Amino acid sequence: MNAAMNAAMNAGMNAGMNEPVTMLQRLRTAGLRPTTARIGVLQVIHTAGSAGIGADEAFHQMLLRGTHVSTSTVYRIIHELQTLGVLLHDRSDRRHTVYRLRPYAPPASADVRITCRRCERSATLPGAQLRNELELRAAEVGLRPLVAGLVLQVDCLGCDGATGHCQPN
């Protein structure tokens, strides 16, 4: 594991819970693969604190830290993180856009409940992968879903469509 990934293990803090929130957790919660460039951008923005930092300054700070990336990579990552809700942006006193970390909110339960619409029989399944896929697809079309609980309505195999009676397998 490289130095940026090791540092990411300890960076960030959830002020509401006083539990460490790593840059890796922020990326994984957003459904992103933790790359050295993404971790570096998050660390530089975290270090800037509540004042925030501009994209050009973030690029220069990454170079000073020894993380060699292009300006376009930094801009792409910042845009991606902002779109997924990891970053907030504001205007500085000098009317430049600055970025800062959004306060961390742990993800809602990733479980998915599947319920028969006829007999109301249900099962709860682990659904982190499904939830992440839905959120990524929504972000691709410019939406940010706030999925609190995910329930899929289905027809179970034991239900008789005509009578509505269920005979579970």
Please count the structural domains in the chain.
2
Residue of 16 and 100 predicted with greater confidence: 100
Do 39 and 113 belong together in one domain?
no
Query: Could you tell me the sign of the dihedral formed by the alpha carbons of 129, 32, 27, 147, in that order?
Result: negative
- So what's the pLDDT on residue 15? 37
Do 161 and 112 belong together in one domain?
yes
- So what's the pLDDT on residue 149? 65
Query: Could you tell me the sign of the dihedral formed by the alpha carbons of 167, 162, 125, 148, in that order?
Result: negative
**pLDDT tens-digit map of 107-145:** 666 677 787 877 767 787 777 777 777 777 877 888 766
Residue ending a domain, choose from 44, 72, 101: 101
DSSP, collapsed to helix, strand or coil, labels residue 90 as strand
- On the question of pLDDT at 16 being above 80, the answer is no
State the average pLDDT for the chain: 78
Residue 32 — very low, low, confident or very high, per pLDDT cuts 50/70/90?
confident
Residue ending a domain, choose from 101, 133, 154: 101
Domain enclosing residue 44, as ranges: 3-101
Predicted TM-score (pTM) of this structure: 0.56
For 91-145, the three-class secondary structure string (H helix, E strand, C coil) is ECCCCCEEEEECCCCCCCCCEEEEEECCCCCEEEEECHHHHHHHHHHHHHCCCCC
- On the question of pLDDT at 72 being above 60, the answer is yes
Average pLDDT on 11-32 reads 63
CATH of the domain at 142: 3.30.1490
Residue of 58 and 155 predicted with greater confidence: 58
- So what's the pLDDT on residue 4? 45
